[in-house]
Structure formats: structure tokens, C-alpha cells
Structure 1
Amino acid sequence: MNRHDWMRILTKGYRPPKTTTKEKTPVKKTLATPEEKIESNSFEEDSSVSDSEDISSQEIIESKERKPKSKERLFQLKQEEINHFRNKNHIYVYGSDIPAPVECFEQLRTDFDVNDKVIKNLYSEKYLKPTPIQMQAWPLLLKRREVLACAPTGSGKTAAFLMPIIHYLKAPRRKGFRAIILAPTRELAKQIARESDRMTEGLGLKTNIINKVRESNNSPYFKKFVTTPNRLIYLLEVDEEVRKIAENVEWLIVDESDKLFEDGKNGFRDQLATIFRACCGPNVVRAMFSATLSFDVEEWCKLNLYDVATVSIGMRNTCPDVEQSLSFCASNAGKMLEIHNLLRNGYEIPCLIFVQTKERAKKLCEEILLTGRPVRSIHSDMSQTKRDEIVKQFRQRKIWILICTELMGRGIDFKGVNLVINYDFPPSIISYVHRVGRTGRAGKKGRAITFWSMEDKPLLRNIAWVMKNSGSEVPDWILNIKSSSQKERKRFAKNVPDRGDVTEGMKDQLKKKKRKNEIKNQTDEGDLTEENTEESKPKKRKLKNDEKPKKINKNNNNKKIKKKRKPVKVGR
């Protein structure tokens, strides 16, 4: 085969089999003719073209042989995107098979077939997009999962549990109450009922709230039942029909669950156990929502709720949108002077002041009223109608300052509260977070000031760390105080120190202040003569006839002269 035959074979893409190598014989180099040079150049060009054709064909074969990404890899990539989105919105979840969060309202329509009217009502509530707690709670509850949720105050928790309930109830049916929502106070229950009515506008679903037990309406058109635990228990004990309806309840929501699970006279743990036993239907879905999450509630939910999913937003037990500070006041008189200074130097209305007892609330209200400011107090001694009227006036800005006890520290949403003053130190960290959470709601900024004295030292360090974790500045020496034990903190919460009367010590302070003002006025008017100054000086005691003046040793004024003891004779 000559050179031309090889060229024809190569252009057809054929390669001859490799032959055994033989010893090369030396070949004499000769000069090529012009015709041979042209043929050699054409051979090199043809060989390069054939090589490029072979490479492209190999790439096509390799691309065909490539396998698509496995399902495990695709699931892993999707999970990484979900985790990145959760971290971006500070969403922390715990549990098995937790669905991806919802990013927008349109996703509710496409993924869960939520009614357009419900989405429209969400927009009318001034929600531009779901809040972090709504992003994760909605897909869980729409899949009928039992949930334990913890989110900061003012983050949209009420809408987070109302929307899935409205979606499943859809329209009235003659089955009695199908959803029960429990709240620790009547004020919070009324607030939930108002928001529920706004979200069900145009759907025909009604919400019933019991103001009095005799007014309980068991109409089939009332599908959602908002109440406090004690009133529901009374109905379960008295009315047999209510017990039958409770067995068919589909949704049981506990708002401010940490408060309801407290022990003692302030908690509702025994009442909740009775309600949970009554609502024992096979299709019931239970959920707990709160701004704080205690260890006891979390452990109880893990043991008693089926396949529970835990959702937390941000760092637990913090208020990141509130500027917090501490102010030392040694006595009641110091607190009164500090509150007057705060009000005198300027403050943004409306303002909430928290005190320990209703007696102190009444007395402090009387003291601030003397300054001419529109102020009212609210406490449990008032009738429900009067309390509702005061809350209404406070919302309308007719009342600038509202003095209250722990009654108003849970879940009540006052729009635009700018300042919270803890006049009396809170009994626990949970109480502090809920009090401070009345301001800085729905993304707005707020301010909180806490008065403290030496009596509050057992809990001072813990609350200082809550402030630090929320982004507020706290002195280092307070953070480095020796921490108290858990028993001491529980003892402090149960046996709160007696604060006494609000005006205690004020009379002495007023006398001193009055005397200073009198002297100042005399100096300003020029009436301070030698006679007045001599009268103000203490008079010297006159010596008696036989009495001699005592000698004063100028060198040893502060030294005490020790008397020598006489030796004592001891008998045999």
C-alpha cells in the first residue's frame, strides 16, 4: 500500500489494527519535489479534519451515556434551598417530615387550594407577605399536623392558626362548634374573636365568645368558639349537649400556652387537662402558640401530642425590636421621682406602666392624675364593661398612659405603643418578655424601661441577659453578678417581695424639697438677712453655773479613749 491508499482509508474514518513493531532501518533523507510537498500538505489537512470529526463524535456518545442526577441528589439540593430560606428568615424547626415554608400568598392558592376570599382578607389585614411564623405554621396546619410554635410578640401568631381553621371549616354545617380557641384572659379572647371575624368576612362563618355563661349560644352557625378555660369547664360540667359537641371538635388551639400551663392559682394546668380529655375526637388537631416557650410545655407536648412539630422564630425569649434599659431606684420614693422625671422630660404616647398589685395601680394612677395628664388604671376589680371602655379609649388615644397589672401583659395588641415602663420588677423572665412585647410590634421599634432595687437581685442577671441577647446595651458588672439557682428564681416568682405603698417615703422627700424651695426663694428675693440665717442655725446650749466647758483634743478628735480595766482579784 502506497501513501495515497493510506490517505483514502484515513478519510473514511478507518484505522488499521496495530502491528507488531519491528526494528526500524535507517532511511536516507532525500529532498522532496514540489509535487510531493503539495501532496503531504493535503494529507496533513485531511488527517486534522478526521481527528476533529472523531472528537465531536466521542463527545456526543459520552453525552448520551451521561446519566441524569439521582432522586437523592435532587432531594438534597432542594433541602439545601429550604434550609437557606429558613436561616434567612430565622425559622428553626424540630420534628420529622416537616414541609417547606410558604414564601407568598399565591403559593397558598396553588399548593393548598385556599379560597380566594381568605387570601383577599389577609391582604385587607395589611399583610403584604407571610410573616416567618406564618410561613412555616401554615403548611404544617394545612397538612393537619400538631404544632408547638414560639414566635416574638406582634409577629402574626393569631393569623397563623386562624387561616388553616377557616380553610378547613369552609362553610357552616349543622355540627355545632368545630373549633375551640383558648386564651388566658377575656380581653385576649375578644381580640382573637375580632380578628377571626375580619378574616372570615364573606364566608358565612361566625365566631362565638362567651361574656357570661348564660349567654353561651349553641347555634349551628357558630363554628369557632373563643373562650377562657374556666368558662368552658363550667359548660362541660353543666351542659350535657356541650360535652357531646366537644367530642366532635376538629381543632383545639391554645394561645399563650406557657401561661395556661403554669402551676398554682395563676395557671390553668388542671383545667387544660379536663378540656383535653373532653375534646378526644379521632380527627382533632391540637396546636400551642406562645411568645415564650418553657421547658415544661415543650416536654409535655412531646409526650402528649402526636407527631408534634416544633417551630421557633428567632432567638427564644427575646424582643429584638425593643430598646431596653435598666434604672436603679432604691425605694418607692425614688421610683416616684424617676417616673415624674420621665414624664416631664418628654415621652411618646401611648405609654403602658406595669405594677405588681391592683392597689399600687390605683395609688399610682391618683399620683399621676395630679400632674394633669390623661391616665387610667385597669385591674380585676373593675367590671368587664368598664375594662372594655378603658381599653377602647386607650386604643383611640384618648388615654395617654395606662397603668395595669399582669392582666394586660399577655397577647393584647395595642397599635403603636411607644413606651413600656416596668414600675415594679417582673416576677419571671417570661413575664418580662410579655410585658416588653406590648411595644415594638409588627416590625415597629419601641422602648422599655425597667426599675429595679436590691430586692430584685435574684432575677436581675437573667433579665439583663435577655436585654443583651435582644441587642440592648447592659453594664458588664450586672451581667457578671453571681447567678441565682433555679430554686431561688422559683421562690422569687411565687413569693414576690412586698413593695409597700407607692407613696411611701414621699412625705419626707416633699418636706426636704419644700424647705429647699423656700430657701431658694428667699435668696432670689433678697430676704435672707442675718436674722433669718441666725434663726436657721442651731442654738448653742447655755452652761450652768457650776458646769465647765469640755476640753476638745484637736489632734485626736476621732480616736476613742480606752479605759484601763482594773485587775480583778480572784479568791482561793
Structure 2
Amino acid sequence: MDAYDIFKKITKGAKFKLKREPLVKPLESDVTIKSEPIDNSLTCPVVSSISSMEQEKDDFVLLNSLKDGQITRKKRKKDPNLSSIDDEIKQKRMREEKANQYRNENSISVVGRHVPEPIKSFKELSFVDADLLVNITKCGYTEPTPIQKQAIPAMLEKRQILACAPTGSGKTVAFLLPLLQHLEGPKSNGFRALIICPTRELAKQIQQECVRLSDGKKFKIHIISKINKAMSQYGPKSNGKYDILVTTPNRLCFLLNQDPPAISLKCVEWLIIDEADKLFEEGVRSFRDQLQQIVKACSSEKRKIAMFSATCTPVVSKWCVHNMRGLIRITVGLRNAVTDTVEQELKFVGNEEGKLLAFRDLIRNGVNPPVLVFVQSKERAQQLFTELIYDGINVDAIHSERTQVQRDNTIRSFREGKIWILICTELIARGVDFKGINLVINYDFPPSSISYVHRIGRAGRAGRKGKAITFFTVDDTVNLRNIAHILRQSGQQVPDFMLRIKKRSKRNGRSWR
């Protein structure tokens, strides 16, 4: 039995008239409680207790009163001073609605708390260094791309992000611009920013882009090209005043494992991980252990992490949720999808011998260089190169067994147009930006849908049109279903039978002859 039941029994048959001045002046009009009269009526004054509770949003006061056994809620008259607060709340909600509408127009989805509003043009970044904005225009960016519209303001507020956007959508500038802005302050001993990527080709490309954006600024931007030089350059005897380091995980971990460590990461304020899903892949070439060591070495309390990739796996998302406080997840378009600027085609060639015949038939009918040809291994790259070199085609191959000098020379010749067709492995499938790739040929069927997205993403970059042709044989039909779904999501015409193929078993591997 609670206090209300006891009070009800004691006052049974009584009539209350609360016209006397109460001990505590109520906020609202007095409440009169009437009960059914009986023969021996009794009148007595009662002081009712009032319990009030304020709420943050609407400034309500809950007034507990007894009326037919119900608890009623009454509003307190608003304080005139609170009108300005209400106006601010309304304006904030209107801004959020407009921001969400603008995100929907640009196919941007965000997950997180207190997400900054996206920018519509670079002119809104008035607080950013003027030289950086001028360099942005020189690099050919007249207006921000969807990923830049949301990622740049988020990083400028020092928020940790996981960004997923299609290939060729400007992710590099999306993290370099706020990074350079944050490094405008006084220098400290050791590197203040670290950019990790899976290949040396991509690392060199990011370093060159960083130099272009920081033109006119006194930033020290380094890349680990030779281990012996790095050990003496970044060791304990160096002055340690650097700004940005761009490198691959293996080379950096080699320096960290020296006794004493040949490099210090204690002052790193920003850790940028490009092609994040590649670094979290399982298998022989997994970088997960090295990445964990690098994150541990970046021990500064100011450290922030930003991850970028064209595809995102559950492993990456789970790691970010557990290790990045205040995380904002940004996705542009459909996750793990292909940009609509690439025309995609699946071509049945029968068997392995049919691949070479189909390829030579494409050459005979005429192709518009430059052309990238993807194969599954360095042995197959060398084999195809040997077949085509005698056909009078300007062709070359690049893979991990070639020296760094050979790889650099091959890429430079391909960019200059001296090589028309470049045969490559997954080494070039990640992040490397070749301007104006007109055709990508998947000579060997991609082992996964993620690999397919990155391969054909070498074409159709920065809004340009491109084409991708994927050869498949009878043995490839077990993997065909996932790729066919990607084509359907991209608006391409796909035969219905490809979507009804039995799903691939996880136990079935793929061996390349």
C-alpha cells in the first residue's frame, strides 16, 4: 500500500476546499479533489505536496495531482527568456533537415553523432589557408566531389572517420586538404602525420599529390624509398623536425623493429590509412599485424585516425567501431559498387585458350589506348607479355618481381603514352591513378567482387567515361554471380541466368594454370 492509497482511505467521505493560502505557492491554479459525500461529512484543510521535474527540451513541469486516481501533466508558463533557446533549437533542426536533404541529393549517407554539415563549395572554407585553396584550383578541382563535401569538414573538426567512396572520386584530396590545414601550426620533433597505403606506387602518387597541394608552403613531405637511407635519416641522431611521412606498412615496421627504433611516431597527430580494406585482408599478404604495431607506435594523446577506401568490409567497420572514438562513417553511393561512368561487359571465351583469341580479336578490331590488362599472378603476366610482344604491340608488364626502378620506368612510359597496353597484377589495382584510361580488360576473372570493383575503377575516373571487359570461362561460372550483381546495381544489362547461378561454396578455391 503506497502513500496515495493510505491518503485515500483516511480521507474517505471528506470534502476539501483549498481556498486557504498554501504554505508553498503553486505554479498553477489550485487543484480541488472531490469525493462522494456521505452522512457524516467532514471538512478539513489539506496541504497537497507538489513534485516537479524539468525537461531539457520543452521545459515541462510535471505536476502530480490526484484526480479520479489519475496523474495529470500540466504545462508551466514559459519564461520569456527561453524564447531565444527555442528559436535556436528550431534553427538547428532546420539546418539538419537541409543538410540531410543535400546529402541525399549527392548520395551521401552518414552514421555518427553531431556530424558536421557538408560543404557545397570550397569558398565556404574561408578559414582554410588561402594558398591551399589556390592549389586546389590548380589541381583541377573547381567544386568538391561528394566525398570531399562531407569528409573535409569532418576532418577539419578533428573527427575520426571511415570513408567509403567509388574509385576516382577524389578521396586523396579529401584527406590531404584538412591534413595540411592542421599542420599549419608550430613544428615538433618527429613526424606529425603518417599516411599508410598498401603499395609503393600508391605511396609515391600520394606524396606527389601532397607536394602539389602544399606548393608554396614549407612542409617536409617524405617517402621511404631506400631502407638504408631511411635508417640514417630518421634515426635518433636526426633533428626529427618533419611533417608528413607516406609509406607502406612493411618498410615502416622494419624501421620500428630496429634496436633502438630507427624512427619515432610519438608525435603523430593524424594517421591516415588509404585502401583500408586491403590492409585488413587475411592471408599470406595480410598487413593486419603490421598495422596494429603502427597504431600502437602512434602513442600521442592527440592522435586521430581516418580510413579511406573504395570498398569496405565488415572487418574494417568492426575495428573502427572498437578503436576510433566518436567515429563518423561516410558512404557515397552504394557500398562496394562501381561508378556509373564505366561501361561494363562480361564476355564468354570458352576456355583458357579462348582468352588469347578473344584478346587478339579485340586488338584486331581496334582499341583506343591506354589499356590496362589484369591477370591473376606475375607468372601469367610474364606469359601473356611473351605472347603479345611478337605481335608488334607497344606492350609491357609490371608485377612484384620487377625491381623498383623497372616498375617506375614502366609506369612513367605508360603515362607518357610510349606503352599502349600495360599488363599488371593486383599491384596496380589499388588507388593508382592513370589519367584517361579508356579500357580495362580482366584477362583473368577477378577472385572477388571487391577485386573487381578496384580493377575496373582504373577507368572512368574523375567523371571521365571508360569501359571494362571481363573474360570468363566455364570454370569461372561459380564466381560469376557476385560480379553479375555488381553490373545489375550499376544499371548494366545482365542476363537473368547469371543471377540464378548457384552460390559459390567457401571450400572451393581457384587455381590458375
**TM-score normalised by L of structure 1:** 0.72
1:225: which partner in 2?
A: 245
Q: CA deviation at 1:74?
A: 2.2
CA contact (8 A) 2:190 2:266 kept: no
Structural mapping, 1:85-96, within 5 Å: 85-96=102-113
SS at match of 2:210: helix
Contact 2:160-2:325 within 8 A present in 1 as well: yes
> Match for residue 146 of structure 2?
132
Determine helix, strand or coil for the equivalent of 1:370: helix
Q: Indicate the residue corresponding to 1:98 in structure 2.
A: 115
Determine which of 306, 311, 319 is the counterpart of 2:330: 311
Superposed, 1:335-350 pairs within 5 Å as 335-350=355-370
Deviation at 1:378, TM superposition (A): 0.6
Distance in 2 of aligned mates of 1:304 and 1:138: 21
Residue 110 of structure 2 aligns to a residue whose secondary structure is strand
Does structure 1 conserve the Cα–Cα contact (< 8 Å) formed by 2:188 and 2:267? no
Q: Does 1:215 align with 2:229?
A: yes
Q: How many residues align?
A: 424
> Which AA in structure 2 matches 1:421?
I
Could you tell me which residue of structure 2 aligns to residue 144 of structure 1?
Answer: 158
1:81 Cα deviation from its structure 2 partner: 0.8
Q: Is the 8 A contact 1:171 1:205 kept in 2?
A: no
> Deviation per CA, 1:462-488, whole angstroms, max 9, x where unpaired?
110001111211111111222235xx2
Higher helix proportion (structure 1 or 2): 1
Structure 1, unaligned runs of 5 or more: 1-66, 501-572
- 1:381 corresponding residue in structure 2: 401
Separation in 2, partners of 1:411, 1:275: 21
Q: 2:421 matched to 1:405?
A: no
Counterpart Cα distance in 2 of 1:478 and 1:174: 58
Distance 1:220 1:117 in 2: 26
CA contact (8 A) 2:270 2:304 kept: yes
CA distance in structure 1 between the aligned counterparts of 2:185 and 2:405, rounded to whole angstroms: 32
One-letter code of the match for 2:403? S
1:71 Cα shift? 3.1
SS of structure 2 residue aligned to 1:70 = helix
What's the counterpart of residue 214 of structure 2? Answer: 200
> In 2, Cα distance between the equivalents of 1:259 and 1:382?
21
In 1, distance between residues paired with 2:203 and 2:456?
20
The 2-side partners of 1:238 and 1:122 are apart by 39
Output one character per residue of 1:138-183: Cα deviation in whole Å (capped at 9) or x when no partner: 1111111110000001111011111111101116624121111001
Provide the C-alpha distance between the structure 1 equivalents of 2:488 and 2:391, rounded to a whole number of angstroms.
35
Deviation, 1:221, is 4.7
Which of 94, 103, 106 does residue 77 from structure 1 map onto?
Answer: 94
Return the offset for 1:333. 1.3
Q: Tell whether 2:184 aligns with 1:170.
A: yes
Retained in 1: the 8 A contact 2:189–2:242?
no
Aligned with 2:194: secondary structure?
Answer: strand
Is this contact kept in 1: 2:108–2:331, CA < 8 A?
Answer: yes
Is residue 171–residue 204 contact of structure 1 (8 Å, CA) maintained in 2? Answer: no
Q: 2:286 aligns with which of 267, 275, 297?
A: 267
Contact 1:258 1:292 survives alignment (8 Å): yes
Say whether the 8 Å CA contact 2:275–2:431 is kept in structure 1.
yes
1:463 aligns with 2:483: yes
**1:521-548 alpha-carbon deviations (Å, 9 max, x no partner):** xxxxxxxxxxxxxxxxxxxxxxxxxxxx
Larger Rg, first or second structure (1 or 2) = 1
The reply to whether residue 236 of structure 1 matches residue 261 of structure 2 is no
Q: Secondary structure at the match of 1:254?
A: strand
1:247 pairs with 2:266: yes
Correspondences of 1:445-484 after superposition (within 5 Å): 445-484=465-504
Q: In the alignment, which residue of structure 2 is the partner of 1:430?
A: 450
Partner of 1:333: 353
Provide closer, same or farther for how the CA distance between residues 431 and 301 of structure 1 changes in structure 2, counting only shifts above 3 A.
Answer: same
Structure 2: state its 5+ residue gaps: 1-82
User: 2 CA distance for matches of 1:172 and 1:72?
Assistant: 38
Amino acid in the other structure paired with 1:470: S
Structure 1, residues 227-269: CA drift from partner, whole Å, max 9, x if none? Answer: 00011111111153555x3122111111000000011112201
Pairing partner for 1:107 from 124, 127, 133: 124
Q: For residues 182 and 91 of structure 2, what CA distance do their matches in structure 1 show?
A: 32
* Paired amino acid for 1:322: V
Give the aligned residue type for 1:173.
K
Taking every aligned residue pair, what percent have the same amino acid on both sides? Answer: 48
1:177-230 superposed Cα distances (whole Å, 9 cap, x missing partner): 111100100000000000000111111102100111112133545310000001
| 2:172 counterpart of 1:158 | yes
> How many angstroms apart in 2 are the aligned matches of 1:454 and 1:443?
34
Q: TM-score, normalised by structure 2?
A: 0.80
Aligned counterparts of 1:174 and 1:242: Cα–Cα separation in 2: 18
- Segment of structure 1 superposing worse, 290-299 or 234-243: 234-243
Aligned AA (2:320): C
Select between 280-289 and 327-336 the one with higher mean Cα deviation.
327-336
- Indicate conservation of the 8 Å contact 1:200/1:206, yes or no: no
| Alignment check: 8 A CA contact 1:182 1:227 kept | yes
Q: Is the 8 A contact 2:194 2:271 kept in 1?
A: yes
Alpha-carbon deviations, 1:308-336, whole Å to 9, x = none? 10000011111221111111122121111
CA RMSD of aligned residues (A): 1.6
Q: Secondary structure at the match of 1:145?
A: coil
The 3 A distance-change label for structure 1 pair 140 and 240 is farther
Output the CA distance in 2 between the equivalents of 1:145 and 1:103.
19
Kept in 2: contact 1:172–1:205 (CA 8 A) = no
- In 2, Cα distance between the equivalents of 1:106 and 1:337? 53
Q: Which amino acid aligns with 2:183?
A: L
The corresponding residue for 2:66 is none
| Counterpart secondary structure, 1:235 | helix
